Amino acid sequence: MTDALHVLVTNDDGVTAEGLLALRTALLALGVRVTVIAPDGNRSGMARAISFDRPVSLVAAGGTERDRIFATTGTPVDCVRLGLLSDLVPAVDVVASGINHGLNVGDDVTYSGTVGAALEAAVLDVPGVAVSQQAEDGTFRFNDSVLTVSFRHAHRAAKIIVEVAQHPPPQRTVLNINLPAGDGTPEIALTRPGRRFYERGFVQPVAGGADEPTFYPYGEPHDPAPRFDDSPGTDFAALETRHISVSLLTAGASDRPSGDREMWFGRAFGDGGTP
């Protein structure tokens, strides 16, 4: 029964972000219990950042007695730890992070606070689901903060999250979900993260003189998307064909290397010798 499930929701866009509220509403419509613990402001691009040497405060920020909303001064990872390792809320079946305002595809997942929160859940042995929404123009720009984002697929994301809660994946597995732009009922595709290709000269000074230039290390909002790998099976390819992309990520140190990584290690280092 979905009313017995408890979902912890967080994000990196802040506790009042439209994507988080859309996901919360969609989950509540399915009858699950929803607790929100999210940053009190934008924490985008914080990846796995933690508040290691300072306390994190928490305040009530709305909701109901059953479905509470809390805001914290911490990072997305901090929020997950507060929800799973304190007695603040009852036991959680799944952690849902998002819906992020913009994609988290390919290499971008390594920067993402949205994905970082889901990874922390999996490290703590709770299924983690990261959900991100492509902007309405359907592009793959890295800095998409100025683009229009709609959350019309929030109900689909909520159903996937409930399915994960009811049928958990293997331990330390994270689902990285990217929702396509547009309407309709897109199909789900199991994908692998693609990658972006950056070339020397991508980063150019935007202000200042030779003695003190100013840069946007990741590009300005109006910059076109860097080249990317959209070969079949990638998250980029799935979104280009208006599919919901689901990539399976492994959190932390896995129990054993995958077969191809074992083969690489053997080729590179033999029986433990130096290169």
Instruction: Please name the residue ranges forming H helices in the chain.
Output: 18-29, 76-85, 113-123, 154-166, 235-240, 259-269
CATH number at residue 68: 3.40.1210.10
Residue 79 lies in a domain: yes
Identify the pLDDT of residue 275: 47
Whole domain around residue 169: which residue ranges? 2-195+230-269
Identify the pLDDT of residue 273: 44
Identify the pLDDT of residue 133: 97
Residue 213 lies in a domain: no
Residue 224 lies in a domain: no
| pLDDT, tens only, 145-198 | 778 999 999 999 999 999 999 999 988 889 999 999 999 999 999 999 999 998
Are 138 and 238 in contact by the 8 Å Cβ rule? The answer is no
Residue 171 lies in a domain: yes
Distance CA 29, CA 42 (A): 26
Residue 201 lies in a domain: no
Identify the pLDDT of residue 204: 85
Residue 129 lies in a domain: yes
pTM above 0.75, yes or no: yes
Identify the pLDDT of residue 1: 60
Identify the pLDDT of residue 256: 56
Residue 215 lies in a domain: no
Distance CA 64, CA 56 (A): 23
Q: Do the strands 244-250 and 214-215 form a parallel or antiparallel pair, or are they unpaired? A: unpaired
Low-confidence ranges of the chain (pLDDT < 70): 1, 253-262, 264-265, 268-275
Distance CA 143, CA 138 (A): 13
Residue 211 lies in a domain: no
Q: Tally the domains of the chain.
A: 1
Identify the pLDDT of residue 12: 95
Identify the pLDDT of residue 37: 98
Identify the pLDDT of residue 270: 65
Token reading at 243: 């599919």
